[in-house]
Amino acid sequence: MSVEDYVAKHREFVECARENGAPDMPDPDEFGAIKLLSIPEGPTGLKLMKECSPLIEGLAMPEELQRRLREKQAGRMTEAQKQAERDFANCMQENGVPDWPDPDANGLPVYPDWAQPGSTLPRPPEVDPANEICQPILGGGPEAGQPDVRGSE
């Protein structure tokens, strides 16, 4: 699917939502992102989702759009944040998860196959102990009152 077709499908969803109880739903952004918080709660929201969600159900974001989104996200990262991602990956590799992926060329984290949405691959048992050791590198984890952003269960 092309980027244009992907974004157009999300525009169709927004139009459907506007017609089914969310008249003020904003247009999707340039990446096709929809502000789902604009959907009303209760029976109206349930009806809206029943009517409109088939328009975008199962749509995979095109690789070109994923690349653009990652570039935009990377542009918001400081050099210190990018270094922290590299240090985190190195820590995970040194603490029992040798296959933990390095960040991409832009400095953004790359998640293992088992952590991808819809994956049925098992989570390696070595991840949790390594993550407990390495999470503070990112300034997160329980000590900082932040959730583990690396797919902990």
Interval 46-67: pLDDT, tens? 999 999 999 988 888 888 888 8
pLDDT at 149 over 90: no
pLDDT for 141: 46
How confident is residue 100, by pLDDT bands cut at 50, 70 and 90? Answer: very high
- DSSP state string for the chain: --HHHHHHHHHHHHHHHHHTT-TTPPPP-TT----GGGSPSHHHHHHHHHHHGGGTTTPPPPHHHHHHHHHHHHHTS-HHHHHHHHHHHHHHHHTT-TTPPPP-TTS-----GGGSTT--SPPPTTHHHHHHHHGGGGT-SGGGT----S---
Q: Mean per-residue pLDDT for 26-48?
A: 87
